[in-house]
Structure 1
Amino acid sequence: MQQNKWPVSIMLETRIDDGEDQEVIKVEASGDWIASSERTVLFFNEESDDGVVKTMITVKDDQVTIKRSGSVKMTQHFDMKKNTENVYRHAYGTMHVETKTDKIHFEPLDEKGRGYLQLDYDATINQEQTRTHQLRLQIEEESK
């Protein structure tokens, strides 16, 4: 299996809507893009008030997995074929999250060195509050 690796810069924007309020979270970071014939993996770190969060996003077929470690710990699966569950751990406690994925749109790095990932999903926290999420991830090869 041949594997290619590129340094990239990313712009991650997440919109969270609970019906009454909307929250927008933006992250800019540098990382690495690793692609093979079977999967694509993106690694990057983000600084938060509570410390560094290491993020790994894996894209394979109609599935995306986001794994975070450090001051936040979670592994969240997005699968168009089924609802998924995970546990989100951070300095303020633990939350159980159920995810229903509505859309996965992935564009690998093109000839201009740009890629894109879009996830639209509903997340229910602790079986109580359901919020609509839109994740948009723009990737650009740093050497382009």
Structure 2
Amino acid sequence: MTASPTDSTPVKIHLKTKITIGEESDSYELVSFGRYYEKAGAVFLKYDEVQEEGTTNTIVKLTDRQALILRSGAVKMRMAFNEEEEQNGSYESQLGTLLLTTKTHSLSHTQMDTSLEGDFNLTYQLKMQGNPVGEYIMSIHYKEEA
């Protein structure tokens, strides 16, 4: 049985993020189980992040030249990435909605031809309300769960 594009496939997602602010660096790692699907020429990864504040539902949308990360639940955020121009996004907090700006340095998505497995790599500078808050290196590896 072959899957139609609207079907989603269970995947294991391994997310690594390194944040550098000035001289300080911090790294985060998350392994989660989620869903992979394709729609209108884009690849989507959907997974949950469970933290002390609660569960955050995350959707990562990937195309050849752009990416979009949407988070809802305990954290509500929208971040867009495009190597050609800065992108605006938002982060909702108790203080209200804050403007995010991303300046993408590099963005790549490679997928294996033989299996449902791939890598998404992203480096970017993040600004909040116009103020730089760090340089980010993010990588997501996903693989079909057998």
Question: Are 1:48 and 2:51 an aligned pair?
Answer: yes
Q: Which amino acid aligns with 2:122?
A: L
The answer for the alignment partner of 1:138 in structure 2 is: 141
Could you tell me which amino acid in structure 2 is paired with residue 95 of structure 1? L
The two structures have a TM-score, normalised by structure 2, of: 0.88
Q: 1:93 to 1:49 in 2, by over 3 A?
A: farther
TM-score normalized with structure 1 length: 0.89
Contact 1:72/1:91 (<8 A) preserved: no
- From 101, 109, 130, the equivalent of 1:127 is 130
Match runs of 1:1-144 below 5 Å: 2-36=5-39, 38-90=41-93, 94-143=97-146
Mapped to 2, the partners of 1:116 and 1:103 lie a distance apart of 13
CA shift for structure 1 position 2: 4.0
Partner amino acid for 2:59? Answer: M
Percent identical among aligned pairs is 24
Pair 1:90–1:9, CA change in 2 (3 A): farther
Q: What amino acid sits opposite 1:75 in the alignment?
A: R
Shift in Å at residue 28 of structure 1? 0.9
Relative to 1, partners in 2 of residues 1:5 and 1:94: Cα closer, same or farther, differing over 3 Å?
same
CA RMSD of aligned residues (A): 1.9
C-alpha distance in structure 1 between counterparts of 2:100 and 2:92, whole Å:
11
Q: 1:67 to 1:87 in 2, by over 3 A?
A: same
1:50-83 CA distances to partner (integer Å, 9 max, x unpaired)? 0000000111220100000001011110011210
CA contact (8 A) 2:5 2:37 kept: no
- Count of matched residue positions in the alignment of Structure 1 and Structure 2: 143
In structure 1, C-alpha distance between the alignment counterparts of 2:58 and 2:142, rounded to whole Å: 14
- Determine the C-alpha separation between the residues in 1 that align with 2:91 and 2:116: 33
**Aligned with 1:7: secondary structure?**
strand
**In the TM superposition, what is the alpha-carbon distance from 1:112 to its structure 2 partner?**
3.9
d(CA) in 2 for partners of 1:128 and 1:94? Answer: 15
